[in-house]
Amino acid sequence: MAVPKRKHSNSRSGKRRSHHQAKPKQTGFCAQCSTAVPTHVVCPNCGYYMGRVVDEPEDS
């Protein structure tokens, strides 16, 4: 079985891991009520998605 002959340096490991950071959630605005909503998600405020009612909002 192949085994590494030398230890990878911390710099080399860090370069590989440089793209592993968490990215912020992408948000858009609802066309009906203009609240900030994550993309490709039903609006929790009004229940609209892509111009039609998908989920009736609960009145509490």
The domain segmentation of the chain, as residue ranges, is 26-60
How wide is the angle at C-alpha 51 spanned by C-alphas 49 and 54, nearest 5°? 40
pLDDT digits (tens, 9 = 90+) for 36-46: 999 999 998 88
59: confidence class by pLDDT, cuts 50, 70, 90 = low
pLDDT surpassing 80 at residue 57: no
27: confidence class by pLDDT, cuts 50, 70, 90 = very high
Measured CA to CA, the distance from residue 25 to residue 19 in angstroms comes to 16
The helix (run of H) or strand (run of E) holding residue 28 is strand 27-29
Does pTM top 0.85 for this prediction?
no
- Other Cβ atoms within 10 Å of 33 Cβ, number: 13
pLDDT surpassing 70 at residue 18: yes
Measured CA to CA, the distance from residue 36 to residue 4 in angstroms comes to 49
pLDDT surpassing 80 at residue 58: no
